[in-house]
Structure 1
Amino acid sequence: MSAPQRVSPETLVNAIREISERDGVDAVTMSSVASAVGIRAPSLYKRAANRHELLRLAADDAVVELTSGIASVTERAHDPREVLVGVARSLRALAARSPNVTALLFCAPDPLAGPSPDVVAPLMTTLLGAVAQFAPGDPLPAARTLTAWAYGFCMMEQNGGFRQGGDVDAAFEQGLEIVLRGLAG
């Protein structure tokens, strides 16, 4: 009998994300992921107790990807407004690449399928820090407003919700400007 194939964490996450984007989040099962990486489903239990934990691996990976995109903005931007624009644009770019996995960040099918709090913490620190410098008052409601607007725009865009014509990129930028003006008071 041959030794079981070893699967790297990157290979596993890539398979989960690929299945999610190709077939939808509901298609991510222990069996489908195991098949995609060339192992038997019981072998996955060493990495994840259930499908929600598999989805969490993908959600965590997406948060790391988003955080990396935002870090490239924060390295060169010293103005909190620029950081918030970068956050919104980075989220839009992630949603364009991986709409189904991006949805796990905001509306996972189960709390265990969403991103890990410790993985989200650096992203939240950056977001709340920029909002605190930009908008008066408690930064959490303002951060939620920006995030909800950006995510809603992204999901409408990915689902073909803008059918009236016009320049969707310009609409994103105009909407972002309106939201930021509102947050600044």
Structure 2
Amino acid sequence: MPRAGLNPERVVDLGCEIADEVGWDGLTLAAVAQRAGVRLPSLYKHVANADDLRTRIAVRALTGLHESLAAAVEDAPGLELDALARAYRDFARAHPGRYPAVVRAARPDEPELAAAGGALLEVINAALAEYGLAGDDLVDAVRILRSALHGFVTLEAGGGFRMARDVEQTFTRMVAGLDAALGALRARA
């Protein structure tokens, strides 16, 4: 009989909390079991294994990032790139342990993860619509944007920006640079 109050969603909730406290690499089923107040074998009634838990957390993280980006872009018409970039950074800062899960590509046997990743790409594509890019140019734009944002938030989270310069100013300039680069892609197309 499963412990009262413990179900797959609660196990994922606990996994998310622990990841945000100790980091993605520190997330273990043993830590989740301890937090839940159960023995480790009890978790297997709710998740198949550690990979299953990590996949479920990745779906949750992608869904949360998608919702954050979609809301930000909707609330800032005409400033989609800036709003999207700031929402991306805010999500990574608010969820430092689960954020690394958003970069994982889905395997063929992970339709929920693929759907969550696809929804995230849709909102990014929509935000980039102002640049009038399509096909390979749009793919390149999405990759450029995600790489820049991921690199920035990863370096920031890891303490990689310890110079005296204000990080906010650097972020603002990076987003302006991305705007210029995406505009140049449009001009080239």
The TM-score, its normalising length taken from structure 1, stands at: 0.84
Q: Does 1:119 align with 2:103?
A: no
Please say if residues 21 and 99 of structure 1, whose CA atoms lie closer than 8 Å, have aligned partners that are also in contact. yes
Please say if residues 8 and 47 of structure 2, whose CA atoms lie closer than 8 Å, have aligned partners that are also in contact. no
Please say if residues 22 and 97 of structure 2, whose CA atoms lie closer than 8 Å, have aligned partners that are also in contact. no
SS of corresponding position for 2:97: helix
Specify every segment of 5 or more residues in structure 2 that has no aligned partner in the other structure, as ranges.
185-189
Equivalent position of 1:60 in the other structure? 59
Please say if residues 59 and 104 of structure 1, whose CA atoms lie closer than 8 Å, have aligned partners that are also in contact. yes
Judge which range, 165-174 or 29-38, deviates more.
29-38
Equivalent position of 1:97 in the other structure? 94
The structure 2 residue matched to 1:84, chosen from 76, 81, 85, is 81
Please say if residues 17 and 58 of structure 1, whose CA atoms lie closer than 8 Å, have aligned partners that are also in contact. yes
**Percent of pairs with identical residues:** 28
Supply the distance in 2 between the matched residues of 1:50 and 1:4 (Cα, whole angstroms).
18
Supply the distance in 2 between the matched residues of 1:3 and 1:128 (Cα, whole angstroms).
42
Matches within 5 A, 1:1-185: 4-79=3-78, 82-106=79-103, 116-138=113-135, 139-185=138-184
SS of corresponding position for 1:160: coil
Q: Letter of the aligned partner of 2:155 in structure 1? A: M
Supply the distance in 2 between the matched residues of 1:34 and 1:180 (Cα, whole angstroms).
46
Q: CA deviation at 1:59?
A: 1.8
SS of corresponding position for 1:99: coil
SS of corresponding position for 2:98: helix
Q: Letter of the aligned partner of 1:52 in structure 2? A: D
Equivalent position of 2:187 in the other structure? none
Q: CA deviation at 1:158?
A: 1.0
Judge which range, 68-77 or 147-156, deviates more.
68-77
Q: 1:135 to 1:173 in 2, by over 3 A?
A: farther
How many matched pairs? 180
Q: CA deviation at 1:176?
A: 0.7
Judge which range, 21-30 or 117-126, deviates more.
21-30
Specify every segment of 5 or more residues in structure 1 that has no aligned partner in the other structure, as ranges.
none
Q: CA deviation at 1:177?
A: 0.6
Supply the distance in 2 between the matched residues of 1:171 and 1:3 (Cα, whole angstroms).
50
Residue deviations 1:69-100, cap 9 Å, x none? Answer: 12222333443xx2222221111011111222
Root-mean-square deviation (CA), in Å? Answer: 2.5
Q: Letter of the aligned partner of 1:118 in structure 2? A: A
Please say if residues 72 and 83 of structure 2, whose CA atoms lie closer than 8 Å, have aligned partners that are also in contact. yes
Please say if residues 62 and 101 of structure 1, whose CA atoms lie closer than 8 Å, have aligned partners that are also in contact. yes
Q: 1:49 to 1:10 in 2, by over 3 A?
A: closer
Q: Letter of the aligned partner of 1:97 in structure 2? A: A
Q: CA deviation at 1:137?
A: 4.0
